[in-house]
Amino acid sequence: MENNSHRNLAWTQPSGQSAGARVSLKSYTGSNNQCWKILGGFGGGRIEIQNFQGTELCLSANQASPRANGVAMQMEQCLSRTNQMFVVLRTNQYQLVSNSALCIGLNSPVGAGAVVYQFNCNNSSPGQHWFVDNNP
Domain ranges of the chain: 2-131
Quote the pLDDT of residue 136.
Answer: 54
Compute the mean pLDDT over every residue in the chain, rounded to the nearest whole number. Answer: 88
Is this structure's pTM higher than 0.95?
no
Considering the chain, what percentage of its residues have pLDDT values greater than 90?
A: 45
Q: Which residues pair with 95 in a beta bridge?
A: 87, 103
- Identify which has the larger pLDDT, 96 or 54: 96
Record: fold of 2-131: Trefoil (Acidic Fibroblast Growth Factor, subunit A) (2.80.10)
- pLDDT one-digit tens code per residue, 55-69: 789 999 877 777 788
For residue 1, which of 83, 73, 81 has the smallest C-alpha distance? 73
pLDDT in tens, 3-60: 878 888 999 988 766 788 889 999 999 888 888 889 998 999 999 999 887 678 999 9
* pLDDT classification of 103: cutoffs 50, 70, 90: very high
